[in-house]
């Protein structure tokens, strides 16, 4: 059957269908879209039938009695890559949370609830009721695993009568590979992680470093300190990737660092005293003086660097070897990438020549100084950059713990205690000062163990209550009667669609720093031109963009690589589903967008990822076709897409649609699935 001719009415005139489409709980996008769009979804059920699922008895009875049995149709051709259809042989080992520390998380949850409920009473509000299990399981999977649960995961949770099943599931997800993938996406948006920060910088090892920090649950203060003080090449010490992200931009580096880790926007003070905050231009330069000695290139006198840059020397040799002197990009990039080496040497920072304030003269040397607190005594004899990192990450620096607490609190509740999340200032106090202080103290008390801290939030009744509506334009503070309703991020939508479509959503993982080191590392003091030429060819076939992308295509369907967002090129191409749904270009901190657009609607109606679900062998095809009765198939559709069983009204409407299309059950199932995928219930976290 042609996709374009597969079933689907342009719209339904049945009042029950209209009621389902208009219901408050699951408002449906307009069904007036034509058979060409609806047909893609309807094709799913055709595949179910071809895979051996039964049709309603009434349809079977209407088949010509006494006529020879029709020839059994050939099984549909499976076009999905084999790698996404089989369960992974092994998964990464993830550091989770221990059962022995559960009581500490429970105490933290109780204190969060006490402080929230006190604020609600003072504000004349009551906390929302607790969520039902269906809402909870979907919410916690999206918030911790970054995807909706599978049919089997949902059924197992809903069928369990264990009174501790919510806490058990939270612990399980915090120790899962899914959580590594999800929180990598969160941090990639914050740290502006890209594969190619500059034309000749190889940024991929930094991506792996961030994933490893999450996988091993590295204490947050240690993680940040490493990023701020790392030396070397990106593949030998991948934490230097943080410094290289702002290569050549010493002042923006300080601005971005203070904003990400301290929640203070000081960018204005690069050029003049801050007009709204107590930041002066002189203070900005005092802070920047700590990192003035950072170098990101090899220097004259380094091994292999004599009179001429060794990379350029080798490239000049190559011009005599390649046709018409056209040195391939992979050769040039490999050579030049090895010139990026982060180090620190003494250097003074001077005020700009146009400095206009009376507290210092233009061009005057600025000594390093912190704007509040003190550099810890144990670091007084270290390098300026190490002093800066020690001050920033110190348990005694309240802004460091407040910022990460606020960022994670927003991740789980939808609204930060301070909004915008990185704009702490005297004129923008927390909506609940006592809770802000408690959450920051709890972060320090856990030793900056982010998973243990998150565990306390997730255990709380506050997190597990029914959702609330947040109006960012309201003058009234959001008091957290329940978490705010919010739309999925681009990565959550993509990973959830993959959950519906494939068995193995991670058929490959990003290469490690060691993988890169084995291919790209060069010792300029020893390597010959011929050796570099051979090594560059290996680079071309493995990690140079063209060769690397070819290797990913073995996991692709119609040009879309079927793997979780965390493993795909970063950022995705502008036309990719992820970018259509708001993934940022990673040029600004937290640059993702959650606003609705026309391309998003078209992608959900008729995009490539929707096609994947309609293919024979997809996860949803196999799951629904394995059910024995029509009732069970309806349940499987609702549990797969919305993580809940259909209500009596839902079931009645679905049954009515199946009865109406008893000769074409694939059309009815297609209408139901299409409707559910285009509900706000699917697209939003409730």
Convert the pLDDT of each residue in 133-150 to its tens digit. Answer: 999 999 999 999 999 999
Q: pLDDT per residue over 576-617, tens digit each?
A: 999 999 999 999 999 999 888 888 888 887 777 777 877 788
Of 366, 397, 430, the domain-final residue: 430
Q: Inform me whether the pLDDT recorded for 277 exceeds 80.
A: no
In a domain, 453, yes or no: no
Q: Do 35 and 7 form a contact (C-beta atoms < 8 A)?
A: yes
* Helix 630-642 with 665-677: angle, nearest 10 deg: 20
- For residue 17, pLDDT over 50 is answered with no
Its domain, for residue 426, covers 179-430
pLDDT at 264: 93
Residue 255 located in a structural domain: yes
| Residue 659: predicted pLDDT | 86
Tell me: pLDDT of 12 over 80: no
Helices of type H across 72-176: 82-85, 102-122, 133-140, 151-159, 165-174
**Quick check: is 404 in a domain?**
yes
Has residue 150 been placed in a domain?
no
Task: Please check whether residue 446 lies inside any domain of the structure.
Answer: no
Point out the domain boundary residue: 430, 455, 479. Answer: 430
Whether the CB-CB separation of 207 and 171 falls below 8 Å is answered with no
Q: How confident is the model at residue 663 (pLDDT cuts 50, 70, 90)?
A: confident
pLDDT at 69 (0 to 100): 55
The answer on pLDDT for 62 being more than 70 is no
Determine the Cα–Cα distance for residues 681 and 686; give it in Å rounded to an integer. 8
- CA 188 to chain CA centroid, Å, is 7
What value does the mean pLDDT take over residues 156-181?
Answer: 98
For the CA atoms of 659, 664, 667, 672, what is the dihedral angle to 10 degrees?
30
CA distance 314 to 118: 69
Q: Cα–Cα–Cα angle for 412, 418, 420, nearest 5°?
A: 90
Q: How far apart are CA 571 and CA 214, in angstroms?
A: 20
First-to-last alpha carbon distance for the chain, in angstroms, is 38
- Side-chain-facing half-sphere of 396: CA atoms under 13 Å: 9
Other CB atoms within a 10 A radius of the CB of residue 617 amount to: 21
Neighbour count for residue 550 (Cβ, 10 Å): 10
Locate the DSSP E strands across 279-363: 294-297, 340-344, 349-350
Number of domains within the chain: 2
Q: Which letter does DSSP use for residue 581 in this model?
A: T
Residue 608, classified by CB atoms within 10 Å of its CB into exposed (0-12), middle (13-18) or buried (19+), is middle
CA dist 42 and 22 (Å) reads 21
Answer whether residue 388 is part of any domain: yes
**Antiparallel, parallel or unpaired: β 365-366 and 486-487:** unpaired
Mean pLDDT of the region 23-32: 32
Q: In this predicted structure, what is the pLDDT of residue 70?
A: 58
d(Cα 260, Cα 258) in Å, to the nearest integer? 6
Name the residue with higher pLDDT: 212 or 55. Answer: 212
Residue 167 lies in a domain: no
- Model pLDDT, residue 52: 35
Task: Give the C-alpha separation, 156 to 643, whole Å.
Answer: 11
Bond from prior residue into 12 cis (ω within 30 degrees of 0): no
Domain endpoint, select from 402, 430, 458: 430
Neighbours of 269 (CB within 10 A): 25
Band of residue 32 on the pLDDT scale cut at 50, 70, 90: very low
**Confidence check: pLDDT of 388 > 80:** yes
pLDDT of residue 91: 81
Higher per-residue pLDDT: 223 or 25: 223
φ, ψ dihedrals at 440, nearest 5°: -65, -45
pLDDT in tens, 78-112: 889 999 999 887 789 999 999 999 999 999 999 99
Mark residue 81 as left, alpha or beta (left: phi above 0; alpha: psi -120 to 50; beta: remaining): beta
In a domain, 518, yes or no: no
- Cα angle value 366/369/372 (rounded, 5°): 145
Residue 327: C-alpha distances to residues 318, 331, 337 (Å):
6, 7, 15
Strands 556-557, 560-561: parallel, antiparallel or unpaired by DSSP? antiparallel
Kindly indicate the confidence band of residue 666, based on its pLDDT and cuts at 50, 70 and 90.
low
pLDDT number for residue 67:
55
Spatial distance between the Cα atoms of 536 and 579, rounded to a whole number of angstroms: 32
pLDDT of residue 4 exceeding 70, the answer is no
Using alpha carbons, select from 146, 244, 141, 137 the residue that is nearest to residue 200.
Answer: 244
Determine phi and psi for 156, rounding to 5 degrees.
-60, -40
Please compute, for residue 321, the number of CA atoms within 13 A of its CA located in the half-sphere on the CB side.
Answer: 12
> 642 or 661, which is more confident?
642
Residue 194 pLDDT > 80, yes or no? yes
Give yes or no for a contact between 506 and 88, defined as CB atoms under 8 angstroms apart.
Answer: yes
Say whether the peptide bond before residue 342 is cis (omega within 30 degrees of 0).
Answer: no
User: What is the Cα–Cα distance from 268 to 259, expressed in whole angstroms?
Assistant: 12
pLDDT tens digits along 418-454 = 999 999 998 899 999 999 999 999 999 999 999 999 9
Please list the residues that pair with 43 across neighbouring strands.
none
- Residue 328, C-beta contacts closer than 8 angstroms, at least 6 positions apart: 322, 536, 540
Give, in degrees to the nearest 5, the angle at Cα 163 between 157 and 169.
45
User: How far, in Å, CA of 274 to CA of 280, rounded?
Assistant: 6
Cα–Cα–Cα angle for 674, 495, 241, nearest 5°?
A: 150
């Amino acid at each position: 059957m042609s996709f374009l001719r597969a079933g689907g009415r342009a719209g339904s005139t049945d009042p029950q269908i209209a009621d389902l489409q208009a219901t408050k709980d699951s408002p449906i996008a307009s069904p007036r879209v034509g058979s060409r769009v609806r047909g893609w979804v309807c094709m799913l059920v055709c595949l179910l039938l071809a895979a051996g699922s039964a049709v309603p008895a009434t349809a079977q009875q209407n088949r010509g009695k006494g006529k020879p049995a029709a020839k059994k149709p050939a099984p549909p051709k499976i076009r999905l890559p084999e790698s996404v259809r089989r369960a992974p042989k092994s998964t990464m080992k993830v550091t989770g949370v221990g059962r022995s520390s559960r009581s500490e998380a429970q105490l933290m949850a109780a204190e969060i609830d006490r402080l929230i409920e006190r604020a609600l009473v003072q504000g004349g509000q009551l906390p929302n009721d607790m969520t039902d299990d269906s809402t909870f399981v979907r919410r916690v999977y999206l918030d911790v695993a970054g995807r909706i649960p599978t049919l089997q995961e949902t059924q197992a949770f809903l069928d369990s009568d264990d009174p501790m099943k919510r806490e058990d599931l939270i612990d399980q997800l915090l120790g899962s590979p899914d959580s590594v993938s999800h929180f990598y996406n969160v941090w990639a948006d914050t740290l502006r992680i890209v594969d190619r920060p500059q034309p000749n910088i190889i940024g991929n090892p930094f991506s792996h470093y961030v994933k490893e920090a999450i996988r091993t649950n590295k204490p947050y203060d240690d993680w940040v300190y490493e990023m701020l003080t790392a030396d070397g090449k990106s593949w030998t010490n991948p934490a230097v990737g943080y410094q290289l992200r702002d290569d050549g931009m010493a002042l923006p580096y300080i601005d971005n660092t203070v904003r990400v880790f301290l929640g203070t926007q000081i960018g204005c003070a690069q050029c003049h005293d801050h007009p709204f905050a107590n930041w002066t231009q002189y203070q900005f330069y005092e802070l920047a003086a700590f990192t003035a000695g950072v170098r990101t290139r090899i220097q004259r006198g380094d091994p292999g660097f004599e009179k001429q840059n060794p990379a350029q020397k080798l490239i000049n040799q190559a011009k005599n070897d390649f046709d018409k002197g056209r040195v391939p990009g992979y050769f040039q990039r490999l050579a030049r990438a090895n010139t990026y080496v982060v180090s620190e040497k003494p250097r003074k920072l001077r005020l700009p020549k146009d400095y206009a304030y009376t507290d210092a003269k233009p061009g005057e040397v600025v000594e390093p100084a912190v704007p509040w607190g003190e550099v810890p005594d144990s670091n007084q004899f270290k390098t300026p950059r190490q002093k800066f990192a020690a001050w920033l990450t110190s348990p005694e620096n309240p802004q460091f713990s407040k910022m990460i607490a606020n960022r994670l609190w927003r991740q789980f509740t939808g609204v930060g205690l301070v909004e915008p999340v990185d704009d702490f200032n005297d004129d923008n106090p927390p909506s609940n000062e006592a809770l802000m202080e408690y959450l920051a103290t709890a972060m320090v008390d856990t030793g900056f163990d982010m998973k243990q801290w998150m565990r306390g939030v997730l255990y709380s009744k506050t997190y597990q209550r029914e959702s609330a509506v947040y109006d960012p334009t309201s003058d009234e503070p959001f008091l957290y009667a329940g978490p705010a309703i919010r739309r999925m991020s681009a990565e959550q939508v993509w990973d959830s669609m993959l959950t519906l479509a494939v068995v193995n959503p991670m058929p490959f993982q990003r290469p490690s720093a060691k993988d890169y080191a084995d291919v790209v590392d060069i010792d300029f003091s020893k390597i010959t031109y011929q050796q570099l030429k051979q090594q560059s060819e290996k680079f071309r076939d493995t990690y140079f963009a063209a060769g690397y992308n070819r290797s990913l295509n073995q996991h692709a369907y119609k040009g879309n690589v079927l793997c979780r967002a965390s493993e795909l090129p970063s950022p995705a191409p502008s036309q990719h589903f992820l970018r259509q749904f708001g993934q940022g270009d990673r040029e600004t901190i937290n640059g993702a967008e959650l606003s609705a657009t026309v391309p998003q609607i078209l992608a959900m109606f008729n995009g490539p990822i929707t096609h994947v679900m309609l293919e024979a062998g997809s996860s949803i095809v196999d799951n629904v076709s394995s059910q024995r009765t029509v009732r069970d198939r309806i349940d499987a559709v609702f549990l797969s897409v919305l993580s809940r069983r259909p209500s009596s009204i839902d079931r009645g409407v679905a049954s009515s649609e199946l009865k109406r299309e008893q000769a074409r059950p694939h059309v009815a199932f297609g209408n139901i699935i299409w409707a559910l995928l285009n509900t706000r219930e699917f697209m939003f976290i409730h």
